[in-house]
Amino acid sequence: MKAVIQAGGRGTRLSAVTKNLIPKPMVQIAGKPLLEWQVEEFRANGVRDIVIIVGYLGNVIKEYFRDGSHFDVRIRYIEELEDEPLGTAGALAYLPPLLGDGGSGEEEDFIFVYADAFFSVDFERMLAFHKEHRSMATLFVHPNSHPFDSDLVVLDGDGRVVRFDAKTNDRSSYDYENIVNAGVFLFHRNICDAVPEPRKLALEKDILQGLLDAGKNVYGYCSTEYVKDVGTPERLAAVACDIAAGIPQKRNLSRPQKAIFLDRDGTLNRYVGLLTKPEQMELEATVIEAVQAINSSEYLAICCTNQPVVARGLCTIEDVEAIHRRLQTLLGHGGAYLDDIIYCPHHPDKGYPGENPKYKIDCNCRKPKTGMIDEMAKKHYIDLQTSWMIGDTTRDIQTAVNAGMHSLLVKTGEAGNDGAYDAVPEQEAKTLLAAVREILQ
C-alpha cells in the first residue's frame, strides 16, 4: 500500500519555531523531525512506498530523506512551485502515475495525510472499515479539545458523512457532536479523477464536498487512536509531552486499551431526577478538569448511562441524543471531550402512563448488566481488568463488579444512597476530579 504526505504548506502558525528556515513538517519533536515520525509510523504499518508533496522549502525535505533508503522505505516527490501553491488537493493531479496503472497487481487505495499531524494508528483496522463500506474517501474522525474552532463532520448512524460544519459557521444557536476531521484519510485511487489538472484546490471544500454532492461513498472512521495537530507552538509542546509519556503508542489499537467509564446523571452532570431536555443539562463542579485529566492520560473517557426516560415515554431517542450533543458542547467549550457515549433506553417494568412499549423490555444493556460495557470493550479493544467505572449509585458499582472492572463511588448526585445493590466500591471520592486523580495516581 502507498502513502501520500501533503507537506507543501508554509506553516505560518509555527513560524516562531521554524524561523522560516525549515518547512513546517521538519519541525523537531522529541529529537527528530515530525515528518520522520510519520515515515516511521508508515513503516511500522508495513507501508514502505511513500510520496511526499513538497513546496515551500521543499529542498530541505528532499535533502533529508532523499530516496528513503536510509529509512527502509521508498520515497518519491511531487514538487509544487513555491510561488504557486496548489492548496491541500491540487497536487492530486500529479499522483496517478505514481500510484501505478490500477491493474490487478496494483493497490486501489492509498493513505493520505497532512504533514502537521502526529499520529499512531493501526491502519489495518481503518482499511478494513474503508473496504467494508466500499468508500471512495474515508476520513479519520475523532473528538478533540477545541471543537468550537474546528471543522466538524456530521455522520449518520452508519458512519456515512452527511455534511461538513465549518468552523466559520455561527454555532451559538445549536449544539453539536464533537466529531473532527483529523487530517488522516484513506482514498480510492479514483479520487484523483476529481483533479484532472493541477490547480489550487482545498481537499474538504472542493474535493470531499464534491464527492458528497455527487452521491459518492464518503465515510468517517471514528477512532480513539492518537492523532494530534501540531500546527501551533502550544500543540507542538503538548505532543512532545505525550511522546515522553508513551501515550501515542498506548492509544494505538494494535494494543489493548484502558478506559474510565463514567455514569452521566449525578456524575458528569447535576442530578435533577429524570432529565428530559437539553436545557436541564448542567455540568457538575470539577467535571471539566476531571475529563481533561483523562484526555491527557492513556485512558479513554466513555460515558455509560441508563436512560429509561425513553421507555417511560418522557422523551424520544432523538431527545436523548440532543441532550448528549449539549453535553459534548459544554465539555468542548471547556477544552474536554468524551471518547464515546453509550446509553440504554430500556426499562423492564411496565405500567407507567404514556410508556413506550417498544422499549419496555428486559434487555442485556441496562446497568448493572454489562451489555453496554461489552459493546464498548469490543469497539475500542478495551481491557476491562485494567479499566474503571465511576458513578454515584450502587448500580454503577455493581456494574463494575459484573464486568470485572475496578470501581469508584463519587459523592455527588445520589452519592451511593440509592440502596439498589449491596456492592461496595473499591474507592470513594468527593468529586469527579478527585476520583480521576486517585485513578491516575
d(CA 212, CA 342) in angstroms, rounded, equals 28
pLDDT of residue 106: 56
Whole-Å CA distances, 39 to 44, 111, 214: 9, 12, 34
How large is the greatest C-alpha to C-alpha distance in the chain, in angstroms?
75
In the chain the domains, ranked by start, together with CATH numbers, are 2-245 (3.90.550.10), 256-440 (3.40.50.1000)
Contact 195, 93 (CB under 8 A): yes
CA angle (3 as vertex; 129, 93 as ends), nearest 5: 105
Cβ-contact 284, 412 below 8 angstroms: yes
| Pairing outcome for strands 218-222 and 137-142 | parallel
Q: Which of 109, 116, 263, 339 is catalytic?
A: 263
The pLDDT score that the predictor gives to residue 107 is 76
pLDDT at 9: 80
Is residue 49 annotated as a catalytic residue, yes or no? no
- How confident is the model at residue 126, as a pLDDT? 97
Clarify whether 122 is annotated catalytic: no
Cα–Cα dist 282/288, whole Å? 12
Quote the cell numbers at residue 210.
464534491
pLDDT recorded at residue 317: 97
Q: What are phi and psi for residue 381, nearest 5 degrees? A: 55, 55
What are the DSSP calls for 190-211, one per residue? Answer: GGGGG-SS---B-IIIIIIHHH
- Residue 100 is predicted with a pLDDT of 79
pTM of the shown model:
0.94
Q: From the candidates 109, 229, 242, 265, which is the catalytic residue? A: 265
Q: Count of alpha carbons within 13 Å of 328, Cβ hemisphere only?
A: 27
Nearest to 266 by CA among 237, 239, 303: 303
Query: 258-262 and 299-306: which strand pairing?
Result: parallel
3-state secondary structure of 118: strand
Q: What is the pLDDT along the chain (441 residues), one digit of tens a residue?
A: 999 999 988 777 787 788 888 998 999 999 999 999 999 999 999 999 999 999 989 999 999 999 999 999 999 999 998 778 999 999 999 999 999 765 545 579 999 999 999 999 999 999 999 999 999 999 999 999 999 989 999 999 999 999 999 999 999 999 999 999 999 999 999 999 999 999 999 999 999 999 999 999 999 999 999 999 898 899 899 999 999 999 999 999 999 999 999 999 999 999 999 999 999 999 999 999 999 999 999 999 999 999 999 999 999 999 999 999 999 999 999 999 999 999 999 999 998 889 999 999 999 999 999 999 999 999 999 999 999 999 999 999 999 999 999 999 999 999 999 999 999 999 999 999 999 999 999
User: What counts of helices (H) and strands (E) characterise the chain?
Assistant: 13, 19
Torsion of CA 172, 289, 144, 441, to 10 degrees: -170
